[in-house]
Structure formats: structure tokens, C-alpha cells
């Protein structure tokens, strides 16, 4: 019995000793609990109010699909009266209008006679010079602005001298039934605009050429706006260069009229480089690199007639002819429609191998 009592007493002492040892730890835990609780509460508050939330995706469109008409103009829209008739005969809610013009220019009652263009200029624009990357940057701005509306499903790039040859209903249906973009894109075996410095971002076998005036589906417009790498290469290595061979002994700066500064022309006249027009290569080459060529109708929907001058020094051959009032008769328009139909069937039979 005494032994048992001593054992029990010893056990009690051990238990008390252990309890006595745990007491300081318990007080320490209580001291740490208060600041820890405060930190957890602060973290919870910060989580409920994040400093920078990711941009929300545009809500899905519930209305009809739209065609976005993207006008790349110098200032106003000189043929706004024709487009006004075109849009008036269209269906409200099936089209939208965007205009890239010179910085500071506004479309209102004093600058356009069509209400469809009121306030449709982009909030941000760049000064565009032909033959420079600014042309491509302006196009990208138009696509980016139009992509903000989720209803826009087709994107038509137009110049200030373009006019519609068909009514709105015909064009709308034509564009919507096609799951592909209309992009004139081909390999020009004779041209020497590719600069080896573009590699490896732009391999030579991916280099393409074509018309600037494209019509895109939404996904392809997103590819253009999302591109960063190919555009940077174009900015560095795809530029128009005026050489002595083209200028002659006495350069006619007024005849050139490309929006180039005199300093640029003189600099270009003293060296030979790869002459490159960005807007004739960028979209086509980008789609080639991205593996999208099978998703293209490789033709443009814009009818053009190029200057047929045989003089290689004539820079005007780099621009399509402008139809004047005398050459824009109903007979001329009908002949253009017929030629477009013939071209379409020729391409159709050519590509299916008949």
C-alpha cells in the first residue's frame, strides 16, 4: 500500500508538473492569438477589395450580328452622302461605323452631312503617313475599337474613296454567310521587299503580299489586335525608302506627296534598302505566321484599277486609279459588277481544279 500511494502521489506530482509547464505556453498562445486574429481580419478585408481586378470580358451579344465599317480617312469622309444612302437603306442594329482621321478632327454637323458619322471618330488616333508603319497602327486602332462591341462579327476596312457597289442587304448577307475572312494574300516571287533582318520572327517562307483592304471575321481581328511581336519587327525593318534611282537628280517632293518629311526623303536618297510598304504585307504575313491561311478567302472584296504606267520610276503606279465623276456612271458600275462576277467564277474553278 505505501508503495502504491507513493506511485499515485508521484503520478500526481508529474501531472501537476506537466500542467505547470504547459501554463506558460498557454499564456504565450493567448498573447499570439490577438495579433494573429488582427492579421487574418486585415487579409480578409484586402481580399474583398483587390487593388487591381482583371478586365472583365465583354458581355455576350443578344442582338443581331453586326458588320463594322472601318473608315481610314485623312480628315472627313468626302463620299459621306453615298454612304448615308447606303446606311439609310440598311437595317438599324446590323451595322456600326468607326472612323480613324487626323488627330483632333471631329465629325459633326459642320464636317459631315451624314448623321451616321456624327461622333464616330476614334478617341485616339495617330498621324498617318503612306508607306510608314503608322498606317498599320491606325488599322489596328480601328479593329480594337470595333472589338469593344461584342455584336460586331465582321470587320470591313475602307478608305475615304471607297463606295458600296451593292445595297446593304446584299453585302450583309454576303459577309455573314461566309465563315472566312477575305484577305488578298499571295507569294510574290519577283518582289524584293523581304529583309533578312526580320528573321527569325518572320521567316522568309511566311512573307506575304496583298491588298490593304481586308474584310475579317471577329477571331481574325482579335489576332491582329493581340499581336505584338510581328508588329515590332515591321516597325524596325519594313519601311518605304526613296532612293536616288527613283528621285532622279532633282527630287520633286510635291509629286511624291506621301506625307514624308524632307529629311526622311534626303536620308533615303543616299542609301539602298529593302523598300517595304507595311500595309501591303502586315496582315497577310501575320496570318501566314499564325497558320490561318486555310481560314481565308484569298481575295479582296474591294475593286481597284492600278495605274498601268510602264515607267518604273513613276511612283503613282503604287496607287490605284481614282474614279472621277465622269467615270463613275451607272454603266461603269455595272461593268465592274460583271467583271467581279467573272473573277469570282474564275477563282472558284481554279481552286477546285476544274
Using CA atoms, how far residue 254 sits from 235, 314, 319, 329, in Å, is 26, 13, 16, 31
Indicate whether 149 and 160 sit together in one domain: yes
Indicate whether 202 and 269 sit together in one domain: no
Indicate whether 163 and 258 sit together in one domain: no
Can you give the pLDDT at residue 86? 95
Can you give the pLDDT at residue 57? 55
Q: Give the C-alpha separation, 158 to 82, whole Å.
A: 14
pLDDT tens digits, one per residue of 190-245 = 778 899 999 999 999 999 999 999 999 999 999 999 999 999 999 999 987 655 44
Other C-beta atoms lying within 10 Å of the C-beta of residue 352: 7
Residue 22, domain member (yes or no)? no
Domain of residue 117, CATH code:
3.90.550
Indicate whether 211 and 251 sit together in one domain: no
Indicate whether 188 and 266 sit together in one domain: no
Residue 283, domain member (yes or no)? yes
Indicate whether 146 and 252 sit together in one domain: no
Q: How many domains does the chain have?
A: 2
Indicate whether 113 and 142 sit together in one domain: yes
**β-bridge pairing 152-159 and 215-217:** antiparallel
The confidence band for 258, taking pLDDT boundaries of 50, 70 and 90, is very low
Can you give the pLDDT at residue 270? 36
Domain of residue 254, residue span: 242-274
Residue 27, domain member (yes or no)? no
Indicate whether 135 and 121 sit together in one domain: yes
Residue 216, domain member (yes or no)? yes
Task: Return contacts of 243-249, CB within 8 angstroms, 24+ apart.
Answer: 243/268, 243/269, 243/271, 243/272, 243/275, 244/269, 244/270, 245/313, 246/313, 246/315, 248/313
What does the DSSP 8-state code read for residue 204?
G
Indicate whether 269 and 228 sit together in one domain: no
Can you give the pLDDT at residue 303? 78
| Strand locations in the chain (E) | 66-72, 95-100, 152-159, 181-182, 215-217, 296-297
pLDDT tens digits, one per residue of 32-89 = 555 555 555 555 544 544 444 444 555 666 689 999 999 999 989 998 998 999 999 9
Amino acid at each position: 500500500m505505501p508503495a502504491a500511494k507513493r506511485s499515485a502521489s508521484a503520478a500526481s506530482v508529474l501531472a501537476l508538473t506537466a500542467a505547470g509547464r504547459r501554463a506558460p505556453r498557454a499564456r504565450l498562445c493567448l498573447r499570439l492569438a490577438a495579433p494573429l486574429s488582427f492579421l487574418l481580419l486585415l487579409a480578409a478585408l484586402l481580399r474583398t477589395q483587390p487593388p487591381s481586378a482583371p478586365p472583365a470580358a465583354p458581355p455576350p451579344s443578344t442582338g443581331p450580328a453586326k458588320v463594322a465599317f472601318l473608315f481610314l480617312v485623312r480628315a472627313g469622309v468626302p463620299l459621306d452622302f453615298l454612304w448615308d444612302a447606303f446606311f439609310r437603306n440598311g437595317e438599324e442594329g446590323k451595322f456600326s461605323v468607326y472612323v480613324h482621321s487626323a488627330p483632333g478632327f471631329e465629325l459633326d454637323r459642320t464636317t459631315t452631312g451624314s448623321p451616321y458619322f456624327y461622333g464616330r471618330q476614334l478617341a485616339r488616333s495617330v498621324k498617318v503617313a503612306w508607306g510608314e508603319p503608322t498606317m498599320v497602327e491606325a488599322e489596328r486602332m480601328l479593329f480594337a475599337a470595333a472589338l469593344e462591341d461584342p455584336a460586331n462579327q465582321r470587320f470591313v476596312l475602307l478608305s475615304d474613296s471607297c463606295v458600296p457597289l451593292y445595297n446593304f442587304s446584299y453585302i450583309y448577307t454576303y459577309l455573314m454567310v461566309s465563315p472566312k475572312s477575305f484577305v488578298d494574300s499571295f507569294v510574290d516571287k519577283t518582289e524584293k521587299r523581304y529583309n533578312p533582318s526580320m528573321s527569325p520572327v518572320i521567316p522568309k517562307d511566311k512573307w506575304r503580299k496583298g491588298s490593304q483592304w481586308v474584310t475579317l471575321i471577329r477571331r481574325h481581328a482579335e489576332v491582329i489586335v493581340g499581336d505584338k511581336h510581328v508588329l515590332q519587327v515591321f516597325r524596325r525593318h519594313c519601311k518605304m525608302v526613296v532612293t536616288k534611282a527613283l528621285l532622279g537628280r532633282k527630287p520633286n517632293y510635291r509629286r511624291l506627296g506621301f506625307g514624308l518629311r524632307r529629311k526622311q526623303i534626303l536620308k533615303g536618297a543616299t542609301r539602298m534598302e529593302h523598300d517595304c510598304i507595311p500595309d501591303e504585307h502586315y496582315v497577310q504575313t501575320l496570318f501566314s505566321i499564325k497558320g490561318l491561311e486555310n481560314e481565308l478567302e484569298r481575295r479582296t472584296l474591294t475593286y481597284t484599277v492600278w495605274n498601268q504606267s510602264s515607267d518604273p520610276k513613276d511612283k503613282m503606279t503604287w496607287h490605284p486609279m481614282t474614279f472621277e465623276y465622269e467615270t463613275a456612271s451607272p454603266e461603269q458600275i455595272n461593268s465592274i459588277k460583271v467583271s467581279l462576277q467573272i473573277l469570282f467564277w474564275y477563282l472558284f474553278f481554279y481552286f477546285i481544279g476544274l
